[in-house]
Structure formats: C-alpha cells, structure tokens
Amino acid sequence: MTDATPTVRLSGLRLDRGGRTILDGIDLEVPRGSVVAVLGPSGCGKSTLLSALTGELQPAAGTVEVLGAPLPAGKRALLERRKSIGVLLQGNGLLTDLTAAENVALPLRAHTRLPDAVIRRLVEMKLHAVGLRAAADLFPRELSGGMARRVALARALALDPPLMLYDEPLTGLDPIASGVIMNLVSELNRTLGLTSVVVTHHVHETLPIADHAVMIADGRIVFSGTPAQLQASTDPLVLQFLRGEPDGPIPFDTTARRVEAA
C-alpha cells in the first residue's frame, strides 16, 4: 500500500443474507489513517458491512478491497489477511475462564511463535495502552462494562493490525465509559497510525472523533461527507435519524410498512 491507497475500497457492493438483499450499490473509500463513522438505525446493515470487510460474508456483487488488495477467497490466505484486521466485537467476546492478560495473549499465542516472556511484555504494553495494566490478573466477571470493553480493545490490537473495525463499541456503556472508549479510539488511531471504521448508532459520541461520516438507510448509503456536513444536512432520512424522530421515511416496523404498501 502507498499513502494514497485507501485502506478500504468498496465498489458496487451488494450483500445478501438468507436470499434477501441487505445492502446494494455501496461505494465507499476509507482513506489511510482516518476514522470513518458508519451510522444508521438498528437493522440497517451496518454490521453486515463489517462482515464483508472481514471476509465472513461474500459479496453477491461488486468488490471489496482491504489493505490495498481484494480479500482472498482461499481460507488460508483469508486468515493471513485477517491478522491485519483488528475487530472489537459488540459483546466483547472475552473468555470468562481467562484473565484479562490471558485474553489479550490469545491472538499472540495462536498466530505467533514468540517466547512467553515476549508475549507477557506485549500484553503489558497493550493493557497499558488502554489504561488497564493493573487489571491484568482480573477475570471478566470482575471487570466493569467499560473495563471489559477496553480489554477486548487491547486484544484486538494484540497483533498490531493497521485496520481496526469497531462494531457498536458503546453498547451498554454509561456516558463516562463511552467517552473513555471514544477517546481511546481517537488516540490509538493517531498514535499507532491506524485506520478505523466505527459502526454505531451513537451519533453525538462518535462524530467528534470522526474524519468522515457515512449513513446507511434503506439498504444504501444515503449520506457520505464530513461530520459537519452531516449535521447540516436537510435530507429527511438524515434528519429523522439525527433527531431520533419515531415518524418519518425510516419506518419503525418494516414488516408493517411492507404490509401497508401491499
């Protein structure tokens, strides 16, 4: 990759699940070193988009390029590419019988042949980066929601991936913990030279750290621009989402809307 090569490039992307089209006509470039917020109501296909970026979901049409090249089709080659993609899961995904340090060490033990002493040092560094070095020996049940999310973030960073994907990183967190996580996303992106894609419906917490914002609705991208441009938009879809209005072009009950339309 060169500095001018987008870390992520989607062209004419269509994603299907269970015989139903979730997203269609998706064109998106994520510049290297940027934080891109992918916004939209629940069920609009934001997490489905992340599945395409990791190769979990194959496109029905179009192309997905990650880190300067199309995602490989072979399992072994795809696994190698995934080592360069860090993913913070919505539910953290921490193993309950392992300590915080042991959870962070998992990717290092699974994908490297580093000596134990080196792994321990790397784990200390990752936990220190998220402010939890003192919590290394705690189990997930002993951690608050915000602390558990930060341990999961440290684990996602274990292999030093150049691309980070965040799937609803603020789910279940109080305002203070949310602020801590968003600050970490911004600081880590800057200090480690990462590129970050943040999928979320938490607008006000995410826009201050974003370089670019994308909004998904009706199975397509309805907005792409700067956070300031998003907040100044007069598009009815954007306005309804930003204002949290129950009535508008984005239906609350899509099944009911389809029945009415029929």
Instruction: Give the DSSP letter string of 132-167.
Output: -GGGTT--GGGS-HHHHHHHHHHHHTTT--SEEEEE
pLDDT class of 256 with cuts at 50, 70, 90 = very low
pLDDT of residue 201: 87
> Percent of the chain beyond pLDDT 70?
95
Q: What is the DSSP letter of 72?
A: P
In this structure, the strands spanning 195-200 and 35-39 are parallel
CB 153 within 8 A of CB 88: yes
| Structure tokens, 4 | 């001018």
* pLDDT tens track for 207-217: 999 999 999 99
* pLDDT tens track for 161-203: 999 999 999 988 899 999 999 999 999 999 999 999 999 989 9
Domain extents in the chain: 93-160
| Structure tokens, 28 | 């998106």
Give kind and range of the element (H or E) at residue 85: strand 85-88
